[in-house]
Amino acid sequence: MSAPRQIIMVRHGQSAANQDTTIYERLPDYRIPLTELGRAQARASGREIREKLAGEQVCVYVSPYLRAYQTLDALGIADLTERIIEEPRLREQDWANFQDPAEIGEQRRLRNSYGHFFYRFREGESGSDVYDRVSAFMETLHRHWSKPAYAPNTLLVTHGLTMRLLCMRWFHWTVEYFESLNNPDNAGVHTLVRQPDGRYALDTAFTQWTERTTTDTVLSQVRERL
């Protein structure tokens, strides 16, 4: 197996919906574009990624959302890209079709009370649904890595929640630890780097809004309150 030297993950840059949530009412989520700031953020991340690649080729997996494709384009690494694979399993969490901001705002409040992993949007997915599809995607990755001509690096151009859940699956983090994690910034880069023993380590940890360890469980949290 020719496992890559590193698996680089980048969140899309700032989107029009990050600026104005009412856009969800009139434009499908997957067609929402980047803002000019989002393009600039992606260009800056592209310089960081180019340094990480150090002249080596990279195989790219990109979410089918417009903002992900625009982020990939703005990274400016076409000369190092061995191939691009559109990967629907790396898409954003499905919330609804055309979204009513007031309704979504109420569901966000409920999700904060219920928990981001298990709460299912009424017309969409739960975090656990996204976890299941990134788990299936990881199986595809391992099959691709078994090909001898695979590029020495992997790049995933995706979304913040998807990045956190992929790492949760990869490193076997608990649900309680996942719940403590903040989303990466727009165009934020996190990299899984292969170690001498063949395992991968996350180069930059996700920030946390509350202190939890990777082994905390719902049981340990209940015991803390007793």
For 84-116, what is each residue's pLDDT tens digit?
999 999 999 999 898 888 888 899 999 999 999
pLDDT digits (tens, 9 = 90+) for 117-161: 999 999 899 999 999 999 999 999 999 999 888 999 999 999 999
- Its pTM stands at 0.95
Helices (H), 56-100: 66-75
Asked if 190 is an active-site residue, the reply is no
The least confident of 17-21, 43-47, 165-169, 195-199 is 17-21
Query: What is the phi/psi pair of residue 60, to 5°?
Result: -110, 135
pLDDT of residue 154: 98
- Give one word for 174, left, alpha or beta, with left for phi > 0 and alpha for psi -120 to 50: beta
Asked if 92 is an active-site residue, the reply is yes
Question: How far is 87 from 73, CA to CA, in rounded Å?
Answer: 16
Q: Does residue 207 carry a pLDDT above 60?
A: yes
**Marked catalytic residue, from 92, 125, 176, 179:** 92
DSSP for 162-222, written as a single string: HHHHHHHHHHT--HHHHHTBPPPPTT-EEEEEE-TTS-EEESSPPPBSS---TT--HHHHH
Share of the chain above pLDDT 70, in %: 99
Q: Does residue 23 carry a pLDDT above 80?
A: yes
pLDDT digits (tens, 9 = 90+) for 155-200: 999 999 999 999 999 999 999 999 999 999 999 999 999 999 999 9
Q: Does residue 226 carry a pLDDT above 80?
A: no
